[in-house]
Amino acid sequence: MKRNSLTWLVAAAGIAFSLAFFSTYRSWESAYVQTELDVIGGRKAYSIDETLHNDFVVVMAMKAFFESSSRVDPDEFYSFTRGFLEKNPAIQALAWAPRVSHGDRAGFEAKQKEQAPGYRMTERDDGNGMVSRNRGREYYPVTLIEPLAGNENAMGFDMASNPVRRAAILASREKGEMVVTEKVTLVNEAENMSGVLLFVPVYRDPVAREEFLGFVIGAFRVADIVEKSILHYLNTETRESEIRLTDITDPASPEVLYVSSGFWDAPEFYYETNFDLGGRRWAIRIVPTPGFLAEHKSNIAVVGLGAGLMFTLLLFVYLRAMAGQSEEIRRQVVDRTRELSRHKDELDNLINTIKSGIIMIDSNRIIQLFNPSAEKIFQYCPGEVVGKNVNLLMPEPFHSNHDDYVTNYVRTGESKIIGIGREVRGRRKDGTEFPMFLAISEMKIENTRYFVGSVSDISHQKETEERLRFARDTAEKANTIKSDFMNTMSHELRTPLTIILGNIEELVDEDELPDADEIAEIARDCSNAGEMLMLLINDILDLSKIEAGKMDLHKEPVLSSTLIADVAKTASVLANNKGLELRIQGDEVEIEIDAIRIKQTLFNLLSNAVKFTDEGSVSIITRIEGGWFVITVADTGCGMDSDSLKYIFDPFRQVDNSATRKTGGTGLGLAITRKLVELHHGNIRVESVVGEGSAFTMKLPL
Amino acid sequence: MKILMVDDNDDIRKMLKRKFKKTGWEILEAVNGKEGVDMAFEHTPDLVLMDMHMPVMDGHEATTTLRERGYPGTIVALTASVMRSDTDSALNHGCDHFIPKPITKDFLNQIKDILNVE
């Protein structure tokens, strides 16, 4: 709106200025035109005045001529006037009209007839003809007139017969001075040709103005006077002015004496002057021709005005357009600003809500931006790290090397991470480290270099990866173990089979049978091998049943003493065979177990103990410890080294195969034992010292 | 001919001895690799039947030792470990031949072929 009013103000100022220019230039120009016109008009008026004066001088000269001559005859008059008439063409006629009283009329007329037989005193009739003068008190008939040709009608015409002439005559007689008539129609002229007459009284004694004789009369056609006096102006190629001559003796009824053909009532510029002559006042008015105006009045004012207005209009339109444009620009700015603001809001929201940590630093490594997710990842409070060196987020050695690294990158462009992204270590506020994925991009804002890092805490990912790797390794290991197990099983099954098949071969050929003792021994060997196979197969089945989760326990309450006594009964036979002592001691408690399976495990432990013990004793010790029923089977045997202990509960892992073979063990006993204890939600462990003995401790929940 | 059997399993050795009985060859026995190595250098048998899984010193180590110390005779791996890796391993350690357990009816002929005798 403000701009709009400014536009209008400029427009108003432009118009005002244009008008002021127009007006000033106009008035200056008018003054110039008027001055020019004044010069021209003055010159013309002077010229007319001079012409009149010259012409009147002729009449005055004639007056003097008549004063000095007692009598003037036509010849003298002719020769006197001829030269003047030739030089002064504006003089229509020169005449002499003596005063004739009515008493002298007859004598006068008679006397004139002597010189000119047709002479008579006349006056104008109602038409345009001449008739004999009626009776009057005195008469002023024309007796001499030059040129005569063309003025024949004037000869004898009584000047006093006409009211206009008579008025002039009376005025002249009264003042004794020359008098100019008002406009008359000359006797020989058509109606429309204006003329004036000059009456100059002639006295016998001009000084005293006594003995009045008559009048010398000059007849002038006004047009001739004017046109003659301004002849050279009229002849110029460009007519500068038009002229009007008016008799304003009676201001109430001015009488136009002459008007030039192109005269117009130019209201703006005119030159007017008056001059008095012979008792009359004439006004001369000179107006410029349109041509003169066109020449002297440039259209600069109009052009200037037009140009000014046009300029103003253009300026106005331009300003309007500018205003419109600026309105458009303003609108666009508002729109763009709103849009930018919206973009900024979006960006802020994005940065504030994105799960990745966003960190922006400048090339001096100073943190410029640190979004909420970054704060969460590094466990800083809002605003705590902005303005600090970014290396506080890094553990050593990155913490110390980072400044050099960035400087080097800025100098050489050699990138270790920018534009690449990789796994690095981060340091939280409390100093703990964590794995993170860091992608860094570079950007420039107004020629300032910034680095933007996107950070994800990948601790969980790493843990998951670790778990998966562990699971995979475990699975692979399990697979290997299974494969090894199958190999070992194959080996263990082939061994008794080798004994059986190899021996049976000896009995195939009927003709070459060995002797009876030999056959019996072969049968015994085969039988032992077959039993071994049977044991193996049963153990394998047990183990796979447990591993497949298909081993069902039949739990029942059992007194610990009963359990131990049952096992000890069988084991004591083995011990006694080797000359070993079997010791039993412990607490009495009732436990809920699958008695058959637990007895199986205990027998396995006891038979192993006996197997690997050559002298000393085997002990079964029971006790209650916390919520557990604890059974320990200890021996004073060869013991095992720590390497062997690691695998003691794995299938087919035996310290000494030969011992197993001797005692018919399958190598699966301890594996099965552990599985069965675990099925009871218990556990089993072993302690051993090489050469001193081993102790297996089984814990079962009460 | 002189044959040395190295095997920790008594019944296996007994069975093999029965096989060789008719040939009239001299049969020597050792119960582990270490004993086998000692006997091989003491008696220089023409052929050693070497079990692989044995206590004290296993067949691989025994074979390697024999070859390192210049035993010139034939060594035949006789084992229940019959995977491809086991075969390769035995041959790599210096065995000349490989016979899987259980043995077949042709066992004696296999040995005779190896020894190139009737």
Residues of A in contact with B18 (CB under 8 A): 502-503, 506, 514, 518, 522
Helix (H, G, I), strand (E, B) or coil at A447: coil
Inter-chain CB proximity B8 and A657 less than 8 Å: yes
CA distance B27 to chain A (A): 17
Give the percent of chain B with pLDDT over 90: 73
Residues of A in contact with B32 (CB under 8 A): 658
Residue A660 has pLDDT above 50, yes or no: no
Distance in angstroms (rounded) separating the CA atoms of residues A215 and A203:
9
Nearest chain B alpha carbon to A485: B81
Residue A134 has pLDDT above 60, yes or no: yes
CA distance B112 to chain A (A): 17
Give the pLDDT score at A655.
Answer: 45
Of A497, A525, A657, the CB nearest to B53: A657
CA distance B101 to chain A (A): 6
Q: What is the pLDDT of residues A97-120, one digit of tens each?
A: 898 888 888 888 888 888 878 888
Residues of B in contact with A659 (CB under 8 A): 55
Q: Is the bond preceding A147 in cis, omega lying within 30 degrees of 0? A: yes
CA A404 to chain centre: 43
Which residues have a Cβ under 8 Å from the Cβ of B14 and sit 6 or more positions away? A525
Q: What is the mean pLDDT of chain A?
A: 84
Confirm if B7 and B54 have CB atoms less than 8 A apart. Answer: yes
Residues of B in contact with A487 (CB under 8 A): 81, 83
Inter-chain CB proximity A500 and B9 less than 8 Å: no
Task: Tell me the mean pLDDT in the region B48-67.
Answer: 92
Residues paired with residue A214 on neighbouring β-strands, in sequence order: A98, A202
Q: What's the pLDDT band for B38 if we cut at 50, 70, 90?
A: very high
CA distance B17 to chain A (A): 10
Of B9, B32, B102, the CB nearest to A497: B102
Residue A664 has pLDDT above 60, yes or no: no
Confirm if B105 and B99 have CB atoms less than 8 A apart. Answer: no
Residue A653 has pLDDT above 70, yes or no: no
Give the pLDDT score at A153.
Answer: 81
Residue B100 has pLDDT above 90, yes or no: yes
Inter-chain CB proximity B11 and A657 less than 8 Å: no
Residue B26 has pLDDT above 60, yes or no: yes
pTM of the predicted structure, to 2 decimals: 0.45
Residue A149, burial from CB neighbour count under 10 angstroms (0-12, 13-18, 19+): exposed
Q: What is the pLDDT of residues B75-97, one digit of tens each?
A: 999 999 888 888 999 999 999 99
Of A501, A525, A658, the CB nearest to B11: A525
Distance in angstroms (rounded) separating the CA atoms of residues A144 and A191:
24
Give the pLDDT score at A695.
Answer: 92
CA distance B109 to chain A (A): 14
The token duo for A412 is 């050489």
Residues of B in contact with A522 (CB under 8 A): 18
Q: What's the pLDDT band for A232 if we cut at 50, 70, 90?
A: low
Residue A60 has pLDDT above 50, yes or no: yes
Residues of A in contact with B100 (CB under 8 A): 494
Least confident piece of the model among A149-153, A294-298, A668-672: A294-298
CA distance B93 to chain A (A): 20
ipTM score assigned to the predicted complex: 0.92
Give the percent of chain A with pLDDT over 70: 95
Q: Which of A271, A257, A301 is nearest to A34 (CA)?
A: A271
A-B C-beta contacts closer than 8 Å: 72
Nearest chain B alpha carbon to A488: B81
CA distance A695 to chain B (A): 23
CA distance A370 to chain B (A): 60
Chosen from B7, B18, B21, B53 to mutate, greatest number of chain A CBs within 10 A = B18
Residue A237 has pLDDT above 60, yes or no: no
Of residues A421 and A364, more confidence is placed in A364
Helix (H, G, I), strand (E, B) or coil at A661: helix
Inter-chain CB proximity A502 and B81 less than 8 Å: no
Task: Tell me the mean pLDDT in the region A606-618.
Answer: 87
Distance in angstroms (rounded) separating the CA atoms of residues A90 and A88:
5
Confirm if A489 and A472 have CB atoms less than 8 A apart. Answer: no
Q: What is the pLDDT of residues A363-420, one digit of tens each?
A: 888 898 898 888 888 888 888 888 888 888 888 888 888 888 778 887 887 776 777 7
Q: How many Cα atoms within 13 Å fall on the side-chain side of residue A10?
A: 17
Residues of A in contact with B78 (CB under 8 A): none
Inter-chain CB proximity B12 and A502 less than 8 Å: yes
Chosen from A482, A486, A487, A491 to mutate, greatest number of chain B CBs within 10 A = A491
Inter-chain CB proximity B105 and A505 less than 8 Å: yes
Residues of A in contact with B54 (CB under 8 A): 657-658
Inter-chain CB proximity B15 and A661 less than 8 Å: no
Q: What's the pLDDT band for A188 if we cut at 50, 70, 90?
A: low
Confirm if B13 and B5 have CB atoms less than 8 A apart. Answer: yes
Distance in angstroms (rounded) separating the CA atoms of residues A140 and A154:
12
Residue type, A16: A
Confirm if A609 and A673 have CB atoms less than 8 A apart. Answer: no
Q: What's the pLDDT band for A662 if we cut at 50, 70, 90?
A: very low
Distance in angstroms (rounded) separating the CA atoms of residues A533 and A522:
16
Inter-chain CB proximity B19 and A505 less than 8 Å: yes
Inter-chain CB proximity A490 and B18 less than 8 Å: no
Residue type, A431: G
Distance in angstroms (rounded) separating the CA atoms of residues A350 and A352:
5
Buried b (16+ CB within 10 A) or exposed e, A304-316: bbeebbeebeebb
Residues of B in contact with A658 (CB under 8 A): 8, 31-32, 54-55
Give the pLDDT score at A187.
Answer: 60
Please name the residue ranges forming H helices in A195-354. Answer: 222-229, 231-235, 290-296, 300-353
Q: What's the pLDDT band for A269 if we cut at 50, 70, 90?
A: confident
CA distance A357 to chain B (A): 53
Of B19, B55, B101, the CB nearest to A495: B101
Q: What is the pLDDT of residues B103-112, one digit of tens each?
A: 998 999 999 9
Of A487, A528, A529, the CB nearest to B81: A487
Confirm if A626 and A650 have CB atoms less than 8 A apart. Answer: no
Inter-chain CB proximity A490 and B103 less than 8 Å: no
Distance in angstroms (rounded) separating the CA atoms of residues A528 and B81:
21
Helix (H) or strand (E) holding A212: strand A210-221
Inter-chain CB proximity A502 and B16 less than 8 Å: yes
Residue type, B64: T
CA distance B18 to chain A (A): 8
Residue B18 has pLDDT above 60, yes or no: yes
DSSP string, A194-207: EEEEEEEEEEEETT
Give the pLDDT score at A231.
Answer: 66
Residue A635 has pLDDT above 70, yes or no: yes
Nearest chain A alpha carbon to B16: A502
